[in-house]
Amino acid sequence: MAPSQAAHVPTLDGLIKAFNSQPLEASIESLIFLLKRRQVKGDECAKATAHILRQVVAKSKWNDVDQLLSRVQSVGSRLARAAPLEPVIGNVVRRVLGLIRDEASEDRNADDLASEAASDIQSLTPSTHPAPRPAPVPVRPSPSLISTGLQVSKSMFNLLSVADPGDSPMTGASTPMSQAQPASVHALRSEVMDGIEEILDEINQADDQIAGFSEIQIHPGDYVLAYQPSKTVERFLVKAASKRRFTVIIASLAFPEGATEPPYATLRKKLNAAGVDTINLASNGLMAYIPRVNKVIFGAKAVYQNGGLLVDSGSCIAAQAAHEYLKPVIVLCPVYKFCPEDPSDEVSRGELGNPSSFVSYANGPAVDALDVENTVTDYIPPELVDVYLTNLGPQTRHHLASILADHYKTEDIGFSLQLGEP
């Protein structure tokens, strides 16, 4: 049986699958609404942004770098506005913008444009990245198509028609186009797409890379407090468990009503299988355990340039408690979560969630009488954090500036402010 017990609720994976079957604008819009409806959130946002920007580069019409930049900026700012409390989106947009600028300046220096373009195609086709699906993207012939000359000429035709000034919405038809430009546009396009693939790889591999540092951070016999372990933290702990014997104290909110298993049951099973003891803890009992704990670990949603963190609510208590007892606080955060900006007012107040986590809507008198503010994010000031464990290795907050400088271009930092309402 089971005739596609297909879940109908739209997801990111579903969207990525649908990229090729629907127009670009539809994909962008569906992602925006997935973000607005919180159907894509947290770590998925970065991936989603990279995927959609890849589509923007591949599908939208542009004749030069500036047009591409403005396209990416406008799509990026729409995404960022859709989820103002997911700063990761902005980071990925900035990374892509920086990438375009880099590639463009390289291109200008390169002499042999045509050969580069050709080699690009060759270098692209064999590398089937964990990209959504090797379906034909207009400018990127798939291996099967290459064998027939007709198809290639068709795609070449597309290629030219993309560069046709008449089609461009941005420039007037009078813009003089040199013969070499289509080729350079094509080369730039594939280079940028390559670059975005790399960013995607980085995002996908970041957790593993961070986990690679686990044995340095965790010592045998440690008592590690993990506050509401995220996926990143889970992987980190499991990796450490394969090498070390230690004890994990998993702190979380109260036992969720109606849940059949205690929270983080799968994580505990994995850790226990590796011989690591676990202790489950409700967050209000956390203080009692702090003296026993050697280090506190949690994941961040974002790191601001001052070193402050955007985290799941409750982490701040753990960090503060650890700070009082001079226990090291280790924050796991991949580099793509570093934001080249300061936390906004909204961030410091925290995002408000659904009150039903604390008061059931079925509790009539409480619904009437109480005004429940359920903050789902916390802001942790930089002085409470000791180590930022990134995929490039552990850092202190004094070195954050260099990481930011390495990854973002100053002109892209305020990208979303440069454009008004689209």
Partner 1 sequence: MSKQGGKGGAAAGKAKKPAKPGADEKREDVLQAVILADSFQDRFKPFTLETPRCLLPLVNVPVIEYTLEFLASNGVQDVFIYCGAHSEDIERYIHESSRWSPASAISPFSSLEFIRVSDANSIGDFLRDLDKRSIISGDFILVHGDVVSNIQLDAALAKHRARREANRDACMTVVLRSVGEQPHRAAKARGITPVFVVDPTTGRCLQYEETHPLQSEHYLDLDPAVFSAGQFEVRTDLVDCGIDICTPDVLALWSESFDYELPRKNFLHGVLKDWELNGKMLYAEILDDGYAARATNLQMYDCISQDVLERWTLPFVPDSNLIHGQTYRRVRGSSYVEDHVVAERGAKVTQSAVGRGTTIKTGSVISGSTIGRRCKIGKNVRIENSYIWDDAVIGDGACVVHSVVAGSVVVGANCQIPEGSLISYNVHLDSDIQLPSEPPARISALTDEKQLAETDVSLVGKGGKGAQYTVVADGEDSDDEDGADGDPAILQSSLIYSLQGLNLSTSSISTLASSDAYDSDDDLSQAGSLQAGESSHARDRLSSFASDDAAKPDDGFHTDAVNGLVDALRADDSDDFDGAKLEFMGLRLANNASDGAMRRAIAVAFVRRAAELLTPDHGALEPTKAAGEALTAKRGAVKFVKEVGVGGEEVASQAEFALALQKALLGVRDLEESGRAGALLAALLQQLYSLDVLEEEGIVAWWADERAGEGEAMGALREKCRVLVEWLENADEEESSEEEEEEEDDDGEESD
Residues within the interface to partner 1 (CB under 8 A): 1, 3-10, 14, 22-23, 25-26, 28-30, 33, 36-39, 81-82, 84, 258, 346, 349, 352-356, 360-365, 367-368, 371-374, 421
C-beta separation of 412 from 94 below 8 A? yes
- What's the rounded Cα separation, in Å, for the pair 310 and 86? 9
Task: Closer to partner 1 by CB, 255 or 361: give it.
Answer: 361
Task: Closer to partner 1 by CB, 18 or 156: give it.
Answer: 18
Please tell me whether residue 407 adopts helix, strand or coil conformation: helix
Rounded to a whole number of angstroms, the minimum distance from the CB of residue 358 to partner 1 is 12
- What's the rounded Cα separation, in Å, for the pair 342 and 302? 11
Task: Closer to partner 1 by CB, 278 or 377: give it.
Answer: 377
Rounded to a whole number of angstroms, the minimum distance from the CB of residue 169 to partner 1 is 15
Rounded to a whole number of angstroms, the minimum distance from the CB of residue 24 to partner 1 is 9
Write the CA distances from 375 to 159, 243, 413, integer angstroms.
50, 37, 28
For 166-200, letters b (16+ CB in 10 Å) and e give eebebeeeeeeeeeebbbbbbbbbbbbbbbbbebb
Task: Closer to partner 1 by CB, 128 or 363: give it.
Answer: 363
Which is nearest to 57 in space by CA: 42, 41, 76, 43?
76
For β-strands 377-380 and 309-312, DSSP reports them as antiparallel
Write the CA distances from 265 to 235, 248, 268, 269, 270, integer angstroms.
14, 13, 5, 6, 9
Rounded to a whole number of angstroms, the minimum distance from the CB of residue 39 to partner 1 is 7
Task: Closer to partner 1 by CB, 30 or 232: give it.
Answer: 30
Task: Closer to partner 1 by CB, 294 or 348: give it.
Answer: 348
Contacts of residue 175, Cβ cutoff 8 Å, sequence gap at least 6: 63, 165, 168
Rounded to a whole number of angstroms, the minimum distance from the CB of residue 392 to partner 1 is 34
Rounded to a whole number of angstroms, the minimum distance from the CB of residue 417 to partner 1 is 14
Write the CA distances from 58 to 54, 61, 368, 381, integer angstroms.
6, 8, 52, 40
Rounded to a whole number of angstroms, the minimum distance from the CB of residue 162 to partner 1 is 19
Rounded to a whole number of angstroms, the minimum distance from the CB of residue 282 to partner 1 is 20
- What's the rounded Cα separation, in Å, for the pair 46 and 15? 14
How distant is the alpha carbon of residue 197 from its chain centre?
13
Neighbours of 384 (CB within 10 A): 21
Please give the backbone phi and psi of residue 5, each rounded to the nearest 5 degrees, phi first.
-65, 40
Rounded to a whole number of angstroms, the minimum distance from the CB of residue 361 to partner 1 is 6
Which is nearest to 97 in space by CA: 340, 308, 309, 300?
340
Task: Closer to partner 1 by CB, 8 or 108: give it.
Answer: 8
C-beta separation of 281 from 289 below 8 A? yes
Rounded to a whole number of angstroms, the minimum distance from the CB of residue 11 to partner 1 is 9
Task: Closer to partner 1 by CB, 5 or 260: give it.
Answer: 5
Task: Closer to partner 1 by CB, 8 or 398: give it.
Answer: 8
Task: Closer to partner 1 by CB, 6 or 173: give it.
Answer: 6
Write the CA distances from 350 to 36, 85, 318, 339, integer angstroms.
17, 9, 16, 17
